[in-house]
Amino acid sequence: MLAFRPSLLAMAVIASPAGSQGAAEPDRAPAGYVKVFADEFDGTAIDLSKWAYDTHRNAAGWYNQEKQYYAAGRPENARIENGRLIIEARSETLDKARFPDFGGQRYTSTRLFTNGKAAWTYGFYEIRAKIPCGRGTWPAIWMLLEDPKVKWPDGGEIDIMEHVGFDPTKIHQTLITRAFNYNSGVQQTKSFTLPTACTQFHRYQLLWTDKFIVTGVDDEPKFMLKNVKGGRDRWPFDQPMHLLLNIAVGGTWGGQKGIDPAAFPAKMEVDYVRVYQLPGGKK
């Protein structure tokens, strides 16, 4: 098995604070890491120099049989509010004059990503967020390969946080590769209980090096995958990847127990996104 419980060394690394820079929430990167990207969402609008709207599958329908239409530039679905990014999934009125605007879908949401704006290889990532509960919701904070020529899952996927509303107190952190993915029935994943996942903000974290990947929450490592150099089918994590933030609706996982109309509108609130790396291209 490639996956194993985080060692004491890895736990110390992910929880080693670099000190505060005066922000409301202090920087907690491992010692020696410097901030290379941040959005504190302190403005009045989403910063389109940092984020783009991912709408590429609206016409064809989204993956995993999901039921949402990802809107772009629609404040009902994505906005800055009181220093936080709000991503909101909504149930839409079936008005014949309006409904075609949403690709024939009953639900709208937003999928933001840094694709084409910022991508990184290695580093420490921290996203402070509060996620929605409600049967049928599927919020995620995750990473995909920046290179569009490499198709999934060959380029890998890092799920820093996934949650399905029918299981409200459980968080999932997963690493997907060609050898290990849900289509093959074999995954490298960790699921753990977080009783306040939907009622409080938590810091979802990733430490990615050329030797291992550790994911955790609130400075507590939960999952580790070691690079055993078994080829790109097992370890494709040596190329730039971008961040994604979204709420999906329904689908093969999020919709396993149906969709509760009363769960909407459903909001994911993001306090900040911060990325740190070692200087000089160190791994």
Residues forming the active site: 157, 162
Q: Let me know: does 193 contact 169? Beta carbons within 8 Å.
A: yes
How many other C-beta atoms lie within 10 A of the C-beta of residue 129? Answer: 23
Q: Let me know: does 170 contact 194? Beta carbons within 8 Å.
A: yes
Return d(Cα 76, Cα 246) in angstroms, integer.
Answer: 14
Strands 202-208 and 111-113: unpaired
56-74: string of b/e by CB count within 10 Å (b at 16+)? Answer: eebeeebeeebbbbbbeeb
Q: Torsion over CA of 244, 247, 251 and 257, rounded to 10 degrees?
A: 140
Beta bridge partners of 108: 69, 90
Nearest to 165 by CA among 265, 263, 261: 263
The Cα diameter of the chain in Å comes to 59
Give me 176's structure tokens. 């997907």
Return d(Cα 108, Cα 96) in angstroms, integer.
Answer: 16
Element at 253 (helix H, strand E): helix 251-254
Q: Let me know: does 265 contact 90? Beta carbons within 8 Å.
A: yes
Return d(Cα 154, Cα 131) in angstroms, integer.
Answer: 29
